[in-house]
Chain A
Amino acid sequence: MTNTTPGVRRASRARAAALAVALLLLAAAPLLLDTGGGARYLVRLLIIGLLYVTAAVAWDLVGGLAGQVSFGHATFFGVGAYVAAILVRQDVPIAVTILPAAAAAAAYAVVWGWPCLRLRGPFFAIATIGVGEATRLFALVLEPVTGGATGLTLPIGGGGPATPFYLALGLAAGSLTISFRVRRSRLGLGLSCVREDIDAAESIGIRSGWLQLQALMASAALVGAAGAVYARYLYYVEPGDVFSFNRSIGFILMAIIGGVNTLWGPALGAALFLALEQVLAVSFPDFHLGIYGLLLIAVMRYEPAGLLAILRRVRARRRRGPEATPA
């Protein structure tokens, strides 16, 4: 009996490829970061892209693996961003703010997750829409802490984009690693059961609420950390940006388009979404919502498993091609 099936071999090849890309990025970064102008744009894309990967992969732990579609993940992004902003304004170096930002986001996950996670499917989604809105309103109202609608600016200084870049790269790698480990763990198995049938899952001893909360907390921590790096990179946080509903929608789109409930799907979707954002901003600035809407409709109607499934089918067909021709 072989102990490496094609699936396992493919997975380890994929991992090797990812590692190679990551190493390449690391190697290339110093070159990119030192030259000015056009390279700065590329660096910006890389940083935002890596943060998107972090957040999308993290979202999928809840939306894909646990099966609870959250429209409220921007709340974690914003909490992380604000915690980082407040700390950096107190002269705390950004790298040190990552942990508190993640912890604060995870704590917020418990605050609204505990009551809301017991809701089934669509009702959880609706509740998260409300939570997202309420959080944005809180941020506007808590002016002394958050600076209200004008937000907070971070003191400029402490090097160029190198630090946020490496932090973002680390977070993306961390997010993928956590997703990989969770999916293979007992927690992942339990979450899959809860996703498939919550009543049956509980009848075999699964504490559905507790498992879902764990997923939400891990997800929140990663998204919060991403928010912290975002705040540092932009030097500015305001509620309309970090707590916006559009941001929550973005996370959903990334995971769904790329391939919900997979390891690499959300990462693929994040890259696609990043590219799409740039194209739309330049060529079709007034069509954002419509294009996102059409994408959602297309994916849900024709290929709910997303781009990853389409790519896999294409690859399988190509592989079968030469052998499939009849004599």
Chain B
Amino acid sequence: MSVVLSLDGVTKHYGGVRAVDEITATFDDTEITAIIGPNGAGKTTLFSLIGGSTKPTAGRITFRGRDITGRAPDAICRHGIARTFQIVHPFWNLTVRDHLRAAAIFGGHHDLDDRALDDLLALTDLAGRAGATPRRLTLAGCKRLEIARALATGAMLILLDETMAGLTPEETREAIALVRRIRESGRSVILIEHVLAAVTGLCDRALVLDYGRVIADGTPAAVLASAEVKKAYLGE
């Protein structure tokens, strides 16, 4: 199994606060990894560092053998990493089709033919909505749109930021199935999640963050049973 993403001592300071503190970890190809931890543990900051919207204070990030530390978000996307956002960021006045076309053209360097468009829509349960704008979609639909948009860039590593937040149990089940389908298409997924059912039911591995550091790394079952993790979440 090859390593697709590797973090080496990645650190981010904000003034006196260490949002991310010397994180070192590797992620394998076609792995689904969860990043969990209490609020403020640095999870989204870590995504911002990988995705390029923030530059690390120290450390290195390597993706498929290339050093992507401190590169701009658009360059990182073109290298093959795409992300979704905690609060959805769709292009409100553009159609679903335009979302995906833009992602394919600018992230993947080729336009989207009808067949590929239909495949993506089918994969993310948006079939028949190609002409709709995000306002006509539900929240779950907008989240699926963001995922479809990320996939349309041709990215091989998808970062999902709290995709399950705000979903009904039914929608959560569908989202879990979607993430599985993404992995089956040959991609790697890292998700930030608070919904533990998703973590245990879906992920091969879980990293627990607290105060910017990794305090546990292993299978979801092992990690959630650990005393230290319980302490981090519940305090003492």
Q: Answer yes or no: do A and B interact.
A: yes
Interface residues of A (CB under 8 A from B): 186, 189-190, 192-193, 196-197, 199-208
Is B91 a contact of A206 with CB atoms below 8 Å?
A: no
Within 8 A of A (CB), among B24-77: 51, 53, 72-74, 77
Q: How far is the CA of A197 from the CA of B94 in the complex (A)?
A: 11
Instruction: Determine if B103 is an interface residue (Cβ-Cβ < 8 Å).
Output: yes
| CB pair B82 A190 closer than 8 Å | no
Residues on A with beta carbons closer than 8 Å to the beta carbon of B101: 189
Binary interface profile of B, 72-111, with partner A (CB < 8 Å = 1, else 0)? 1110011000110100011111100010011101111001
Q: From residue A54, how far is it (CB to closest CB) to chain B in Å?
A: 27
Known: A192-B98, A193-B94, A196-B91. A202 touches B105 (CB 8 A): no
Residues A189 and B98 in contact in the complex (CB < 8 Å), given A202-B72, A204-B103, A206-B74: yes
B105 to chain A: which residues have CB within 8 Å? 186, 189-190
B153 in the interface, Cβ–Cβ < 8 Å?
yes
Cα of A289 to Cα of B101 in the assembled complex, Å: 44
B143 at the interface (CB under 8 A from A): no
Give the contacting residue for A202; candidates B73, B108, B111; CB below 8 A: B73
| Interface class of chain B by DSSP | helix
Residues of A within 8 A of B92 (CB): 196-197
Cα A201 to Cα B102 with chains together (Å): 9
- Which residues of chain B come closer than 8 Å to A193, judged between CB atoms? 91, 94, 98, 102, 106
User: Inside 8 A of B77's CB, which chain A residues have their CB?
Assistant: 202-205
Offer 5 A-B interface pairs, CB within 8 angstroms, sorted by A. A192-B94, A199-B53, A201-B91, A205-B74, A207-B74
B78–A205 touching, CB < 8 Å = yes
B12 within 8 A of A: no
Say whether B91 contacts A200, CB under 8 Å: yes
Which 6 pairs of residues, A with B, have the shortest CB-CB distance?
A: A205-B107, A196-B91, A205-B77, A200-B89, A205-B106, A202-B73
Q: Does B149 reach chain A (CB closer than 8 Å)?
A: yes
Shortest CB distance A241–B (Å)? 37
Number of A-B contacts (CB under 8 A): 80
Interchain CB contact (< 8 A) of A189 among B74, B90, B102: B102
Shortest Cβ gap from A299 to chain B (Å): 18
CB distance from A62 to the nearest CB of B (A): 17
**In the bound complex, what is the Cα–Cα distance between A43 and B107 (angstroms)?**
50
Would A204 and B89 be within 8 Å (CB), given that A189-B98, A189-B105, A190-B102 are in contact?
no
Closest chain-A Cβ to B131's Cβ sits at a distance in Å of: 11
Chain B residues, Cβ within 8 Å of A186: 105-106, 111
Q: Which residues of A contact B94 (CB under 8 A)?
A: 192-193, 196
Known: A192-B91, A193-B91, A196-B94. A202 touches B102 (CB 8 A): no
Question: Do residues B90 and A206 form an inter-chain contact, with CB atoms below 8 A?
Answer: no
Expressed in whole angstroms, the Cα–Cα distance for A203 and B101 within the complex equals 14
Asked if residues B98 and A204 are in contact (CB atoms below 8 Å), the reply is no
In Å, the complex CA distance between A206 and B89 comes to 15
* Residue among A200, A202, A205 making CB contact with B90, cutoff 8 Å: A200
Would B82 and A203 count as touching, CB distance under 8 A?
A: yes
CA distance A206 to B78 in the complex (A): 9
Q: Which A residues are in CB contact (< 8 Å) with B53?
A: 199, 202-203
Residues of A with C-beta under 8 A to B152: 204
B91 touches A197 (CB 8 A): yes
Write out the residue numbers on chain B whose beta carbons fall within 8 Å of the beta carbon of A189.
Answer: 98, 101-102, 105
Q: Which of B73, B98, B105, B149 has the most CB of A within 10 A?
A: B73
Known A186-B105, A189-B102, A199-B53: A208·B91 in contact at CB below 8 Å:
no
Residues of A within 8 A of B149 (CB): 200, 204
The chain B residue with its CB closest to the CB of A192 is: B94
**How far, in angstroms, from A200 to B152 measured CA to CA in the complex?**
13
Question: B107 to A204, Cβ gap below 8 A?
Answer: yes
Docked-complex contact B90 and A204, CB < 8 angstroms: no
Chain B positions 93 through 136: 1 when the CB is less than 8 Å from some CB of chain A, otherwise 0: 11000100111011110010000000000000000000000000
Q: How far is the CA of A13 from the CA of B102 in the complex (A)?
A: 29
- Please tell me if the beta carbons of A200 and B85 are within 8 angstroms of each other in the complex: yes
> Closest Cβ of chain A: how far from B94's Cβ, in Å?
6
| Complex contact B73–A190 (CB within 8 A) | no
Given contacts A192-B93, A203-B83, A205-B77, 6 further A-B contacts (CB under 8 A): A186-B105, A189-B105, A193-B106, A200-B89, A200-B149, A202-B73
Return B8 CB to nearest CB of chain A, in Å: 23
* Complex CA distance for A76 and B51, rounded to whole angstroms: 37
Q: Which residue of chain B has its CB nearest to the CB of A196?
A: B91
The CA-CA distance from A203 to B161 in the complex, in Å, is: 13
Give Cα A193 to B102, complex, Å.
8
A68 to B153 CA separation, bound complex (whole angstroms): 26
